[in-house]
Structure 1
Amino acid sequence: MSKRHSAKYKIDRRMGENLWGRPKSPVNKREYGPGQHGQRRKGKTSDYGLQLRAKQKLKGYYGDLSEKQFYKIYEEAVRLRGDTSEALIGLLETRLDAVVYRAKFVPTPFAARQFVNHGHVTVNGRKVNVGSYRCKVGDVIEVRQKSKELAIVLESVELAERDTPDYIEVDTSKKIAKLVRVPALADVPYAVKMEPNLVVEYYSR
């Protein structure tokens, strides 16, 4: 199973930040963007530029979602009661691939989507192979029996570079996770600062 190193590192370089806090990210050595003009001195970024960057960061973090997918999630967040930026984070974090990533069953959001798509995961005992599947509070997500000994799973659960957030209960030995609650922005362990309020401003223009 591909871990899509080049894809996530390309996003890191483009953003100039280590989005996932990975120790091997090229941004740890050079924080400028890729290409021959990557080190060019940058001027002051406009409000629109800041909003666009915030959207690209958040969209890239969750496995580089397509613009259509991401905007659909934003539209859903707008329809929910309360703060739209908080709702946006809640919707992103309750995607099945995001829960699989947070539970440390795989090392990256890219691997999580592929892992789900290949049918390695069940939700409440039923196989689900759609990464965008919306998990509900109380849902039990489990790695299928035949997949529990895959190298990618065994290696990922041992990773020390990130912890499982408290809104997900995980039984590492059984490879089972349970969504305890929908998280707020402050609960999500992003390696870099995310600004969903700027994403809302971007789409509200």
Structure 2
Amino acid sequence: MSKRESSKYKIDRRLGENIWGRPKSPVNRREYGPGQHGQRRKGKLSDFGVQLRAKQKLKGYYGDISEKQFRKTYDEAQRRKGDTPDLLIGLLESRLDAAVYRAKFVPTIFAARQFVNHGHVKVNGKRVNIPSYRCKPGDVIEVREKSKQMALVIEATQLAERDVPDYIEADHNKMVATFSRVPSLGDVPYPVQMEPNLVVEFYSR
């Protein structure tokens, strides 16, 4: 399991964008980067820099994905027939931790990874504790009975800052969600612009 050394708020600050759309993000107050040199005027990024930044932003959005895991997901998207940027997004959104986050069972993508890891989630009636588990259309994801009253879960369902997208059918009374289809880029409610085409360019160099 990969370990994130920098806090999730530093990801926002480093990128200069509130990538999860959270009201508490420090970017809402300070748009410059962290550290003593954060306020220096930024130079113009090279093409490589723009592509790297797009990759860091997309990878960072999904929480604790390691570079190895992310590259593996890209390689799979490239092997499949179709539009690689769209396929990459579809594969990332098919992860179990992403589906749990989208269903609003937990407040953050980081909490989703931990929630799955700790065995609070069942897929089609069986407990699954692998965050990268690939959901298929029609899969039923549910919070285990013992976990439904956790403060984290109750808090998440009441969050007004984001809605459940239409490719997830969620019932918060029963804490059950169905992964109805694999989304494309236009279906995913990112709070900031994601550019998977630049990620493809980055790895295609």
Shorter chain as denominator, the TM-score bin is over 0.9
Aligned partners of 2:36, 2:43: CA distance in 1, in Å? 17
One-letter amino acid of the counterpart of residue 151, structure 2: A
| Secondary structure class of the residue paired with 2:7 | helix
Cα shift readout 1:107-156 (whole Å, capped 9, x = no counterpart): 11100000000000000000000000000000000000000010000010
RMSD of equivalent CA atoms? 1.0
One-letter amino acid of the counterpart of residue 182, structure 1: V
Aligned partners of 2:179, 2:204: CA distance in 1, in Å? 31
Aligned partners of 2:194, 2:35: CA distance in 1, in Å? 25
- Is residue 2:56 matched to residue 1:56? yes
Match for residue 24 of structure 1? Answer: 24
Q: Give % identity.
A: 76
Q: Structure 1 residue 8: deviation in Å?
A: 1.4
Aligned partners of 1:98, 1:64: CA distance in 2, in Å? 11
Match for residue 204 of structure 2? Answer: 204
Instruction: Assess, with a 3 A threshold, how the Cα gap between structure 1 residues 163 and 131 changes in structure 2: closer, same or farther.
Output: same
Aligned partners of 2:202, 2:48: CA distance in 1, in Å? 7
Match for residue 88 of structure 2? Answer: 88
What TM-score comes out, normalization by structure 2 length? 0.96
Match for residue 184 of structure 1? Answer: 184
- Is residue 2:108 matched to residue 1:108? yes
Q: Structure 1 residue 43: deviation in Å?
A: 1.5
Q: Structure 1 residue 7: deviation in Å?
A: 1.9
Match for residue 145 of structure 1? Answer: 145
Aligned partners of 1:65, 1:145: CA distance in 2, in Å? 28
| Secondary structure class of the residue paired with 2:197 | helix
Structure 1 unaligned residues grouped into runs of 5+: none
Aligned partners of 1:39, 1:64: CA distance in 2, in Å? 27
- Is residue 2:45 matched to residue 1:45? yes
Q: Structure 1 residue 199: deviation in Å?
A: 0.2
Q: Structure 1 residue 197: deviation in Å?
A: 0.2
Q: Which runs of 4+ in 1 moved over 3 A?
A: none
- Is residue 2:114 matched to residue 1:129? no
One-letter amino acid of the counterpart of residue 150, structure 1: M
Q: Structure 1 residue 64: deviation in Å?
A: 3.7
Number of residue-to-residue matches in the alignment:
201
